[in-house]
Every structure is written in structure tokens, then in C-alpha cells.
């Protein structure tokens, strides 16, 4: 069924490189999300046969496995940050300051640091995944995408329904273990950047996200 769609990448990553598959090794396959919910949206798929069909909360109970996944997400995070720098670096205020310093005569001994794009990327899982194969989302914070079409798309990445990888292992009494009871996907919209509330006005939120995207890139 459609919920098994990610399995093909795990089984035969070479078949989908380089369009969908970003890289693969014995233990992981990194891919582009086919319906991206941000301007950059990647998925990390662990290939471990004993884990790939498990719910992330259960799979991450294995401490050794969890550490391996965390290490690999750091690798993918660096790669994603490089991608954001290539896409938006030229627009960002920090990059322009850096370029100006570089071209000064003489250039200063210490160049200003460029923007740390890793700060603009989130890594985690959905409390209730829709796809069967274990996957970790690695996406830019903008939530700016044509594919973000439904209310639940926004809230699934902007409420505690999205569980950061660093929060694992989860405590036994963690409320995020009961995502439906908490009603995360039905919550009123809040802008990820300025915290402004949009009630359930999705069209208005979408317009605002476009404005925030433009400013975020230039920051």
C-alpha cells in the first residue's frame, strides 16, 4: 500500500540516486521528501530490518540504536545546512558582512563568522507517523512550500506532535505519547517565527508564512 512507499528506497537506494536519494550507506538512506513541507525537507531512513517497521517511540528505546541514529542525523544536519547556505547564503545579512570583510583591503585578521544554518533546521519524528517505515525528518524551519496544503501539515511540524530527536529517550509519562488526546493537530495556528496566532485561518497563515520566509532568508 501507499503507506509502504518508503520501503523501496531502503531496499534499492542506488535505483533512486541522485534524484531522490541524497546518500546511502549500509545502515541509512537519506532522501528528499517527495511532498516537502519546507523549502528543504529530507528524511533519514534507518535500514535495520529489526527496526524499520517499528514506531519511532519503540525503536528509540534501544539506546545503542538511538545513539547511532542521532549520530547520523548530525551528519545529515551538516549536509542540509550546507544546502541552505548554497540556496540562501547570498541573501543573508551575515554572508554579506562576511563577503565585505573578505574583499576589504587589507582583509581583517579574523573574518566574521557566516550564518550558522544548522540553527535553522529541525530534526525529529511525528508522534503518529503516516508512513510505515521508520523515518526521521530533517527540515528547514520555514514551513514554506506549495505542498503544505492542509491544516494538519502545518501543525504536525509546529506543535509537540513533532518530537525532536534530542528529546529521546522519552520519559514514560511524557504527554506526547498520547498525541490524539492532546489534540495537537487541531490546535489554533501559531507562526513558528513571530508566535502570532492565526486561529484556524489557514489561507492567512499561508500568506504570512511567505512573508516570514522572505525575511528569514535575509536575516
Q: Exactly one of 116, 194, 204, 219 binds Zn ion (CB under 5 A); which one?
A: 194
In angstroms, what CA-CA distances link 117 with 9, 81, 140?
Answer: 27, 5, 9
Q: CA triplet 46, 49, 53: central angle to 5 degrees?
A: 80
Buried-exposed string 77-98: b where 16+ CB fall within 10 A, e elsewhere: beebbebbbeebbeebebbeeb
**Residue 43 C-beta: closest distance to ligand 5GP, Å:** 6
Is 31 a binder of ligand 5GP (CB under 6 A)?
yes
Quick check: 33 binds ligand 5GP (CB under 6 A)?
yes
Applying CB under 5 A, among 51, 176, 193, 206 the residue interacting with Zn ion is 193
Is 135 catalytic? The answer is: yes
**Least distance to ligand 5GP, CB of residue 190, Å:** 20
Total residue length of the chain: 219
Give the span between the Cα atoms of 89 and 211, in whole angstroms. 18
Which has the closest alpha carbon to 70: 177, 169, 172?
A: 169
Binding mask 129-158 for ligand 5GP (x = CB under 6 A): xxx---------------------------
| Identity of the residue, 111 or 194, whose beta carbon is nearer to Zn ion in the bound complex | 194
Q: Which residues bind ligand 5GP (CB under 6 A)?
A: 5, 20, 31-35, 126, 129-131
Amino acid at each position: 500500500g501507499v503507506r509502504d512507499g518508503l520501503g523501496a528506497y531502503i531496499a534499492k537506494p542506488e535505483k533512486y540516486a541522485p534524484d531522490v536519494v541524497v546518500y546511502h550507506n549500509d545502515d541509512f538512506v537519506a532522501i528528499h521528501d517527495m511532498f516537502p513541507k519546507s523549502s528543504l525537507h529530507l528524511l533519514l531512513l534507518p535500514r535495520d530490518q529489526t527496526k524499520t517497521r517499528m514506531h519511532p517511540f519503540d525503536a528509540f528505546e534501544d539506546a545503542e540504536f538511538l545513539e547511532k541514529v542521532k549520530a547520523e542525523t548530525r551528519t545529515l544536519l551538516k549536509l542540509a545546512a550546507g544546502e541552505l547556505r548554497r540556496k540562501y547564503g547570498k541573501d543573508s545579512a551575515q554572508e554579506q558582512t562576511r563577503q565585505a570583510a573578505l574583499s576589504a583591503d587589507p582583509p581583517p585578521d579574523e573574518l566574521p563568522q557566516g550564518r550558522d544554518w544548522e540553527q535553522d533546521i529541525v530534526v525529529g519524528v511525528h508522534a503518529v507517523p503516516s508512513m510505515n517505515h521508520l523515518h526521521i525528518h530533517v527540515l528547514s524551519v520555514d514551513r514554506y512550500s506549495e505542498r503544505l496544503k492542509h491544516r494538519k501539515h502545518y501543525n504536525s511540524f509546529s506543535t509537540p506532535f513533532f518530537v525532536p530527536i534530542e528529546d529521546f529517550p522519552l520519559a514514560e509519562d511524557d504527554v506526547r505519547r498520547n498525541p490524539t488526546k492532546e489534540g495537537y493537530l487541531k490546535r489554533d495556528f501559531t507562526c513558528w517565527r513571530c508566535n502570532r496566532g492565526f486561529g484556524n485561518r489557514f489561507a492567512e497563515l499561508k500568506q504570512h508564512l511567505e512573508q516570514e520566509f522572505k525575511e528569514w532568508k535575509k536575516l
